[in-house]
Amino acid sequence: KFHHSSLTLFIPSSSSSSSSRTKPRWPRMDSAASRHRRKDKVVVIMGATGSGKSRLSVELATLFPFSEIINSDKMQVYRGLDITTNKIPFHQRNGVPHHLLGDVDHSHGEFSPSDFRRHAGEIISDITSRRKLPIIVGGSNSFIHALLVERFDPELNVFDKSSSSSSSSLSSISSDLRYKCCFLWMDISFPVLSEYLLKRVDEMFDSGMVDELAQFFEPDSENRTGLRKAIGVPEFDRFFNKYPPADKLEEGENPMREGAYEEAVRAIKDNTCQLAKRQIGKILRLKRAGWDLRRIDATEAFRAVLTSESRGGAGVFSDLWKNQVLEPSVKIVKRFLME
Ligand code: ATP
Protein backbone atom coordinates (compact mmCIF):
# COMPACT_ATOMS: atom_id res chain seq x y z
CA LYS A 1 0.00 0.00 0.00
CA PHE A 2 2.87 2.38 0.79
CA HIS A 3 5.34 2.83 -2.02
CA HIS A 4 8.87 3.82 -1.12
CA SER A 5 9.29 5.94 -4.22
CA SER A 6 6.30 8.12 -3.38
CA LEU A 7 7.29 8.35 0.27
CA THR A 8 10.71 9.75 -0.57
CA LEU A 9 8.83 12.88 -1.65
CA PHE A 10 8.32 13.52 2.06
CA ILE A 11 11.99 14.09 2.78
CA PRO A 12 11.85 16.66 5.56
CA SER A 13 13.25 20.10 5.00
CA SER A 14 15.90 21.21 7.44
CA SER A 15 17.70 24.42 8.30
CA SER A 16 20.86 23.31 6.55
CA SER A 17 19.10 22.17 3.41
CA SER A 18 17.53 25.46 2.39
CA SER A 19 18.85 26.38 -1.00
CA SER A 20 20.99 29.49 -1.26
CA ARG A 21 20.59 29.61 -5.05
CA THR A 22 16.94 30.70 -5.03
CA LYS A 23 15.89 34.13 -3.86
CA PRO A 24 13.12 34.14 -1.22
CA ARG A 25 9.73 34.59 -2.88
CA TRP A 26 7.87 35.42 0.31
CA PRO A 27 7.83 38.56 2.40
CA ARG A 28 10.28 38.51 5.28
CA MET A 29 8.78 36.80 8.33
CA ASP A 30 9.03 38.17 11.82
CA SER A 31 11.83 36.55 13.77
CA ALA A 32 9.54 34.29 15.85
CA ALA A 33 7.85 32.93 12.75
CA SER A 34 11.13 32.38 10.91
CA ARG A 35 12.59 30.64 13.96
CA HIS A 36 9.57 28.35 13.94
CA ARG A 37 9.96 27.64 10.26
CA ARG A 38 13.57 26.68 10.49
CA LYS A 39 12.99 24.03 13.16
CA ASP A 40 14.08 20.54 12.17
CA LYS A 41 11.40 17.88 12.09
CA VAL A 42 11.66 14.86 14.36
CA VAL A 43 9.34 11.94 15.05
CA VAL A 44 9.21 10.82 18.69
CA ILE A 45 7.80 7.44 19.70
CA MET A 46 6.89 7.39 23.36
CA GLY A 47 5.32 4.74 25.59
CA ALA A 48 5.94 2.50 28.57
CA THR A 49 8.43 -0.32 28.54
CA GLY A 50 7.18 -3.23 26.45
CA SER A 51 4.66 -1.24 24.44
CA GLY A 52 6.11 -2.06 21.02
CA LYS A 53 7.99 1.21 20.36
CA SER A 54 11.07 -0.44 18.84
CA ARG A 55 9.00 -2.56 16.48
CA LEU A 56 6.99 0.46 15.34
CA SER A 57 10.15 2.56 14.87
CA VAL A 58 11.77 0.01 12.56
CA GLU A 59 8.55 -0.46 10.60
CA LEU A 60 8.16 3.31 10.14
CA ALA A 61 11.83 3.70 9.21
CA THR A 62 11.35 0.96 6.62
CA LEU A 63 8.30 2.68 5.11
CA PHE A 64 9.97 6.12 5.30
CA PRO A 65 13.37 4.85 4.18
CA PHE A 66 15.16 8.15 4.75
CA SER A 67 14.86 7.71 8.54
CA GLU A 68 17.41 6.98 11.25
CA ILE A 69 16.61 5.93 14.79
CA ILE A 70 17.95 7.51 17.99
CA ASN A 71 17.47 5.51 21.17
CA SER A 72 16.10 7.37 24.20
CA ASP A 73 16.08 4.54 26.75
CA LYS A 74 18.55 5.48 29.49
CA MET A 75 19.69 1.86 30.06
CA GLN A 76 19.91 0.91 26.38
CA VAL A 77 22.43 3.70 25.68
CA TYR A 78 25.05 1.61 27.51
CA ARG A 79 27.07 -1.20 25.98
CA GLY A 80 26.19 -4.57 27.52
CA LEU A 81 23.22 -6.36 29.09
CA ASP A 82 21.43 -6.57 25.75
CA ILE A 83 18.85 -9.11 26.95
CA THR A 84 18.29 -7.53 30.37
CA THR A 85 17.71 -4.05 28.95
CA ASN A 86 15.72 -5.37 25.99
CA LYS A 87 17.69 -3.86 23.13
CA ILE A 88 16.19 -4.62 19.76
CA PRO A 89 18.35 -7.44 18.34
CA PHE A 90 20.51 -6.57 15.34
CA HIS A 91 18.61 -8.88 12.97
CA GLN A 92 15.33 -7.07 13.75
CA ARG A 93 16.75 -3.61 12.91
CA ASN A 94 16.16 -4.21 9.21
CA GLY A 95 19.28 -2.29 8.21
CA VAL A 96 17.97 0.93 9.78
CA PRO A 97 20.82 2.97 11.38
CA HIS A 98 20.41 3.13 15.18
CA HIS A 99 22.20 5.78 17.26
CA LEU A 100 22.99 5.82 21.00
CA LEU A 101 22.02 2.16 21.27
CA GLY A 102 24.75 0.37 23.20
CA ASP A 103 27.32 3.07 22.35
CA VAL A 104 28.18 4.33 25.85
CA ASP A 105 30.78 2.67 28.09
CA HIS A 106 29.18 2.51 31.55
CA SER A 107 32.56 2.40 33.28
CA HIS A 108 32.94 6.11 32.35
CA GLY A 109 30.11 7.00 34.72
CA GLU A 110 26.48 7.91 34.41
CA PHE A 111 25.07 9.20 31.11
CA SER A 112 22.92 12.10 32.31
CA PRO A 113 19.93 13.85 30.70
CA SER A 114 22.34 16.73 29.83
CA ASP A 115 24.70 14.26 28.13
CA PHE A 116 21.75 12.88 26.21
CA ARG A 117 20.62 16.37 25.16
CA ARG A 118 24.09 17.19 23.86
CA HIS A 119 24.85 13.91 22.07
CA ALA A 120 21.36 13.29 20.66
CA GLY A 121 21.18 16.97 19.62
CA GLU A 122 24.40 16.58 17.60
CA ILE A 123 23.12 13.37 16.04
CA ILE A 124 19.84 15.09 15.04
CA SER A 125 21.80 17.93 13.38
CA ASP A 126 23.88 15.42 11.49
CA ILE A 127 20.86 13.38 10.36
CA THR A 128 18.88 16.43 9.23
CA SER A 129 21.94 17.91 7.46
CA ARG A 130 21.84 14.76 5.31
CA ARG A 131 18.13 15.50 4.67
CA LYS A 132 17.03 12.48 6.66
CA LEU A 133 14.39 12.08 9.34
CA PRO A 134 15.35 11.38 12.98
CA ILE A 135 13.02 9.01 14.84
CA ILE A 136 13.54 9.16 18.60
CA VAL A 137 12.47 5.98 20.39
CA GLY A 138 12.66 4.99 24.02
CA GLY A 139 10.85 5.05 27.32
CA SER A 140 13.01 7.49 29.31
CA ASN A 141 10.85 10.57 29.50
CA SER A 142 13.49 12.55 31.38
CA PHE A 143 15.82 12.05 28.37
CA ILE A 144 13.09 13.00 25.88
CA HIS A 145 12.22 16.09 27.91
CA ALA A 146 15.89 17.14 28.23
CA LEU A 147 16.47 16.72 24.50
CA LEU A 148 13.39 18.49 23.21
CA VAL A 149 12.76 21.54 25.38
CA GLU A 150 14.04 24.85 24.05
CA ARG A 151 15.65 25.72 27.38
CA PHE A 152 16.85 22.87 29.57
CA ASP A 153 17.73 23.35 33.23
CA PRO A 154 19.72 20.31 34.45
CA GLU A 155 19.14 21.38 38.07
CA LEU A 156 15.38 21.12 37.74
CA ASN A 157 13.91 17.63 37.94
CA VAL A 158 10.54 18.22 36.34
CA PHE A 159 9.45 14.65 37.11
CA ASP A 160 10.50 14.81 40.75
CA LYS A 161 8.07 12.67 42.73
CA SER A 162 7.97 15.12 45.64
CA SER A 163 6.59 17.81 43.37
CA SER A 164 4.32 15.55 41.34
CA SER A 165 1.10 16.77 42.87
CA SER A 166 1.96 20.44 42.97
CA SER A 167 1.06 22.80 40.20
CA SER A 168 4.66 24.08 40.19
CA SER A 169 5.85 20.81 38.65
CA LEU A 170 3.28 21.16 35.90
CA SER A 171 4.37 24.64 35.01
CA SER A 172 8.05 23.59 35.03
CA ILE A 173 7.38 21.34 32.04
CA SER A 174 7.74 23.65 29.07
CA SER A 175 5.93 23.07 25.82
CA ASP A 176 8.39 25.36 24.02
CA LEU A 177 10.35 22.80 21.98
CA ARG A 178 13.46 23.22 19.87
CA TYR A 179 12.31 20.87 17.10
CA LYS A 180 9.08 20.45 15.21
CA CYS A 181 7.90 17.23 16.80
CA CYS A 182 5.47 14.52 15.78
CA PHE A 183 4.73 12.56 18.96
CA LEU A 184 3.34 9.04 18.72
CA TRP A 185 2.30 7.68 22.09
CA MET A 186 1.97 3.89 22.22
CA ASP A 187 -0.73 3.25 24.79
CA ILE A 188 -1.96 -0.09 26.08
CA SER A 189 -4.49 -0.55 28.87
CA PHE A 190 -2.49 -1.22 32.02
CA PRO A 191 -3.94 -4.68 32.92
CA VAL A 192 -3.13 -5.94 29.40
CA LEU A 193 0.34 -4.35 29.41
CA SER A 194 1.24 -5.78 32.82
CA GLU A 195 0.14 -9.26 31.81
CA TYR A 196 2.26 -8.93 28.67
CA LEU A 197 5.25 -7.72 30.73
CA LEU A 198 5.12 -10.83 32.93
CA LYS A 199 5.26 -12.95 29.81
CA ARG A 200 8.09 -10.87 28.40
CA VAL A 201 10.21 -11.28 31.54
CA ASP A 202 9.78 -15.08 31.28
CA GLU A 203 10.92 -14.89 27.66
CA MET A 204 13.96 -12.83 28.66
CA PHE A 205 14.94 -15.58 31.10
CA ASP A 206 14.48 -18.17 28.34
CA SER A 207 16.85 -16.09 26.16
CA GLY A 208 19.72 -16.28 28.67
CA MET A 209 19.20 -13.31 30.99
CA VAL A 210 20.60 -15.15 34.06
CA ASP A 211 23.90 -15.96 32.32
CA GLU A 212 24.16 -12.34 31.18
CA LEU A 213 23.57 -11.09 34.73
CA ALA A 214 26.00 -13.67 36.17
CA GLN A 215 28.76 -12.31 33.93
CA PHE A 216 27.93 -8.75 34.99
CA PHE A 217 27.86 -9.62 38.71
CA GLU A 218 30.31 -7.80 41.02
CA PRO A 219 30.46 -9.48 44.46
CA ASP A 220 29.46 -7.17 47.34
CA SER A 221 29.36 -4.20 44.99
CA GLU A 222 27.79 -1.01 46.30
CA ASN A 223 27.90 0.49 42.82
CA ARG A 224 24.38 1.50 41.80
CA THR A 225 25.11 3.88 38.94
CA GLY A 226 24.50 3.74 35.21
CA LEU A 227 23.89 0.26 33.87
CA ARG A 228 23.99 -1.22 37.39
CA LYS A 229 20.57 0.42 37.92
CA ALA A 230 18.97 -1.68 35.16
CA ILE A 231 16.08 -3.78 36.41
CA GLY A 232 17.55 -7.25 36.91
CA VAL A 233 20.98 -6.17 38.19
CA PRO A 234 20.14 -5.32 41.84
CA GLU A 235 17.65 -8.19 42.07
CA PHE A 236 20.20 -10.77 40.86
CA ASP A 237 23.15 -9.21 42.71
CA ARG A 238 21.25 -10.05 45.91
CA PHE A 239 20.76 -13.61 44.69
CA PHE A 240 24.36 -14.09 43.48
CA ASN A 241 25.78 -12.71 46.74
CA LYS A 242 24.05 -15.64 48.49
CA TYR A 243 24.48 -18.19 45.73
CA PRO A 244 27.55 -17.26 43.63
CA PRO A 245 27.24 -18.01 39.91
CA ALA A 246 30.32 -20.26 40.04
CA ASP A 247 28.54 -22.76 42.35
CA LYS A 248 26.88 -24.94 39.79
CA LEU A 249 24.02 -26.97 41.23
CA GLU A 250 21.63 -29.46 39.74
CA GLU A 251 17.97 -28.47 39.70
CA GLY A 252 16.14 -29.47 42.87
CA GLU A 253 19.38 -29.80 44.87
CA ASN A 254 18.83 -26.74 47.04
CA PRO A 255 15.25 -25.62 47.67
CA MET A 256 16.46 -22.49 49.52
CA ARG A 257 18.38 -21.44 46.45
CA GLU A 258 15.38 -22.08 44.24
CA GLY A 259 13.19 -20.01 46.55
CA ALA A 260 15.67 -17.11 46.37
CA TYR A 261 15.77 -17.43 42.58
CA GLU A 262 11.98 -17.31 42.34
CA GLU A 263 12.02 -14.28 44.63
CA ALA A 264 14.48 -12.47 42.31
CA VAL A 265 12.33 -13.23 39.27
CA ARG A 266 9.21 -12.02 41.08
CA ALA A 267 10.98 -8.79 42.08
CA ILE A 268 11.99 -8.17 38.45
CA LYS A 269 8.39 -8.65 37.33
CA ASP A 270 7.09 -6.29 40.05
CA ASN A 271 9.71 -3.64 39.29
CA THR A 272 9.04 -3.83 35.55
CA CYS A 273 5.31 -3.24 36.10
CA GLN A 274 6.10 -0.38 38.50
CA LEU A 275 8.41 1.16 35.90
CA ALA A 276 5.67 0.98 33.27
CA LYS A 277 3.22 2.66 35.64
CA ARG A 278 5.67 5.51 36.41
CA GLN A 279 6.46 5.98 32.73
CA ILE A 280 2.75 6.28 31.88
CA GLY A 281 2.38 8.85 34.68
CA LYS A 282 5.20 10.94 33.18
CA ILE A 283 3.73 10.75 29.69
CA LEU A 284 0.37 11.96 31.02
CA ARG A 285 2.13 14.88 32.70
CA LEU A 286 3.84 15.87 29.44
CA LYS A 287 0.46 15.71 27.73
CA ARG A 288 -1.16 17.85 30.41
CA ALA A 289 1.69 20.35 30.03
CA GLY A 290 0.68 20.84 26.39
CA TRP A 291 2.84 18.37 24.47
CA ASP A 292 0.82 17.30 21.44
CA LEU A 293 0.99 13.52 21.92
CA ARG A 294 -0.96 11.46 19.40
CA ARG A 295 -2.27 8.38 21.19
CA ILE A 296 -2.05 5.06 19.38
CA ASP A 297 -4.07 2.40 21.21
CA ALA A 298 -2.32 -0.96 20.86
CA THR A 299 -4.42 -2.73 23.51
CA GLU A 300 -6.26 -5.09 21.16
CA ALA A 301 -3.07 -6.12 19.37
CA PHE A 302 -1.42 -6.92 22.70
CA ARG A 303 -4.47 -8.79 23.93
CA ALA A 304 -4.10 -10.99 20.84
CA VAL A 305 -0.46 -11.76 21.77
CA LEU A 306 -1.70 -13.03 25.10
CA THR A 307 -4.17 -15.37 23.41
CA SER A 308 -2.74 -18.79 22.72
CA GLU A 309 -1.12 -19.46 19.35
CA SER A 310 -3.58 -22.31 18.77
CA ARG A 311 -6.39 -19.76 18.71
CA GLY A 312 -4.63 -17.83 16.00
CA GLY A 313 -2.98 -15.30 18.37
CA ALA A 314 -0.01 -14.51 16.11
CA GLY A 315 -2.07 -13.96 12.95
CA VAL A 316 -4.66 -11.86 14.76
CA PHE A 317 -1.84 -9.84 16.29
CA SER A 318 -0.35 -8.99 12.88
CA ASP A 319 -3.70 -7.85 11.50
CA LEU A 320 -4.57 -5.76 14.57
CA TRP A 321 -1.08 -4.30 14.70
CA LYS A 322 -1.25 -3.29 11.05
CA ASN A 323 -4.76 -1.79 11.30
CA GLN A 324 -4.64 -0.19 14.74
CA VAL A 325 -0.98 0.72 15.17
CA LEU A 326 1.04 0.85 11.96
CA GLU A 327 -1.46 2.41 9.56
CA PRO A 328 -2.66 5.18 11.92
CA SER A 329 1.00 5.97 12.72
CA VAL A 330 1.96 6.11 9.04
CA LYS A 331 -0.94 8.47 8.35
CA ILE A 332 0.12 10.80 11.16
CA VAL A 333 3.77 10.83 10.07
CA LYS A 334 2.86 11.39 6.40
CA ARG A 335 0.71 14.37 7.28
CA PHE A 336 3.43 15.73 9.57
CA LEU A 337 6.05 15.52 6.82
CA MET A 338 3.80 17.34 4.37
CA GLU A 339 3.10 20.23 6.78
P1 ATP B 1 13.87 8.30 36.33
O2 ATP B 1 14.00 9.78 36.51
O3 ATP B 1 13.01 7.61 37.36
O4 ATP B 1 15.19 7.62 36.11
P5 ATP B 1 13.43 8.34 33.48
O6 ATP B 1 12.26 8.82 32.70
O7 ATP B 1 14.67 9.15 33.40
O8 ATP B 1 13.01 8.11 34.99
P9 ATP B 1 13.05 5.52 32.93
O10 ATP B 1 13.21 4.99 31.54
O11 ATP B 1 11.67 5.68 33.46
O12 ATP B 1 13.86 6.88 33.02
O13 ATP B 1 13.93 4.59 33.86
C14 ATP B 1 13.88 4.61 35.24
C15 ATP B 1 14.59 3.38 35.77
O16 ATP B 1 13.97 2.20 35.27
C17 ATP B 1 16.06 3.20 35.37
O18 ATP B 1 16.93 3.88 36.21
C19 ATP B 1 16.22 1.69 35.47
O20 ATP B 1 16.34 1.29 36.82
C21 ATP B 1 14.91 1.19 34.97
N22 ATP B 1 14.94 0.97 33.52
C23 ATP B 1 14.57 1.82 32.55
N24 ATP B 1 14.75 1.29 31.33
C25 ATP B 1 15.26 0.08 31.54
C26 ATP B 1 15.68 -0.97 30.68
N27 ATP B 1 15.64 -0.86 29.35
N28 ATP B 1 16.14 -2.09 31.23
C29 ATP B 1 16.20 -2.24 32.56
N30 ATP B 1 15.84 -1.29 33.42
C31 ATP B 1 15.36 -0.15 32.93
Q: What is the CATH number of the domain that holds 250?
A: 1.10.287.890
- 3 secondary structure, DSSP code: -
Query: Is 297 a domain residue?
Result: yes
Q: In this structure, are 207 and 76 located in the same domain?
A: no
Residue of the CA atom closest to atom 5 of ligand 1: 140
Q: In this structure, are 201 and 157 located in the same domain?
A: no
Q: In this structure, are 92 and 234 located in the same domain?
A: no
Axis-axis angle for helices 233-242, 209-216 (nearest 10) = 70
Question: Is 31's pLDDT higher than 60?
Answer: no
Query: Is 10 a domain residue?
Result: no
Q: Tell me what the mean pLDDT of segment 331-335 comes to.
A: 98
Q: What percent of the chain has pLDDT over 90?
A: 74
Domain interval for residue 179: 37-190+291-338
Q: How far, in Å, is the centroid of ligand 1 from the Cα of 42?
A: 23
Query: Is 31 a domain residue?
Result: no
Q: In this structure, are 134 and 214 located in the same domain?
A: no
The answer to whether 336 touches 320, Cβ cutoff 8 Å, is no
The answer to whether 101 touches 65, Cβ cutoff 8 Å, is no
Q: Tell me what the mean pLDDT of segment 214-242 comes to.
A: 93
| Residue 184, CA atoms < 13 Å, CB-side half-sphere | 32
Query: Is 88 a domain residue?
Result: yes
Residue of the CA atom closest to atom 24 of ligand 1: 75
> How many angstroms separate the CA atoms of 186 and 302, rounded?
11
**Among the ranges 3-12, 129-138, 243-252, which has the highest mean pLDDT value?**
129-138
Q: In this structure, are 298 and 251 located in the same domain?
A: no
> How many angstroms separate the CA atoms of 44 and 184, rounded?
6
Query: Is 102 a domain residue?
Result: yes
Query: Is 282 a domain residue?
Result: no
Question: Is 200's pLDDT higher than 70?
Answer: yes
Query: Is 334 a domain residue?
Result: yes
Residue 278 CA, closest ligand 1 atom number: 11
Q: Which of 55, 60, 40 is nearest to 88 (CA)?
A: 55
Residue of the CA atom closest to atom 27 of ligand 1: 85
Q: In this structure, are 171 and 206 located in the same domain?
A: no
Q: In this structure, are 68 and 140 located in the same domain?
A: yes
Q: How far, in Å, is the centroid of ligand 1 from the Cα of 75?
A: 7
Query: Is 158 a domain residue?
Result: yes
Find the residues whose C-beta lies inside 6 A of ligand 1: 73-76, 85-86, 139-142, 159, 229-231, 275, 278-279, 282
- Residue 186 three-state SS: strand
Q: In this structure, are 74 and 165 located in the same domain?
A: yes
237, 270, 303 - which closes a domain: 270
> How many angstroms separate the CA atoms of 193 and 187, rounded?
9
Q: How far, in Å, is the centroid of ligand 1 from the Cα of 74?
A: 6
Q: Which of 36, 29, 110, 118 is nearest to 70 (CA)?
A: 118
Q: In this structure, are 67 and 146 located in the same domain?
A: yes
Q: Which of 111, 126, 128, 129 is nearest to 43 (CA)?
A: 128
pLDDT tens-digit readout, 52-64: 999 999 999 999 9
Q: Give me the number of domains the chain comprises.
A: 2
Q: Which of 180, 184, 260, 228 is nearest to 75 (CA)?
A: 228
Residue of the CA atom closest to atom 7 of ligand 1: 142
Mean pLDDT of the chain: 87
Q: In this structure, are 169 and 307 located in the same domain?
A: yes
User: CA angle 45-53-231, nearest 5°?
Assistant: 110
Question: Is 298's pLDDT higher than 60?
Answer: yes
The answer to whether 251 touches 176, Cβ cutoff 8 Å, is no
Q: Residue 65's domain is classified under what CATH number?
A: 3.40.50.300
Q: In this structure, are 68 and 96 located in the same domain?
A: yes
Say how many residues make up the chain. Answer: 339
Q: In this structure, are 153 and 93 located in the same domain?
A: yes
List Cβ neighbours of 210 (8 Å cut-off, separation of 6 or more). 236
Mutate to test the pocket of ligand 1, among 275, 278, 280 (most ligand atoms within 8 A of CB): 275
238, 270, 302 - which closes a domain: 270
Question: Is 166's pLDDT higher than 90?
Answer: no
Question: Is 285's pLDDT higher than 90?
Answer: yes
Question: Is 170's pLDDT higher than 60?
Answer: no
Q: Tell me what the mean pLDDT of segment 165-173 comes to.
A: 59
DSSP string, 9-57: GGPPP-GGGS-SSSPP-SPPPPHHHHHHHHPPEEEEEEE-TTSSHHHHH
Question: Is 15's pLDDT higher than 70?
Answer: no
The pLDDT score that the predictor gives to residue 35 is 53
Cα 205 to the center of its chain, rounded Å: 21
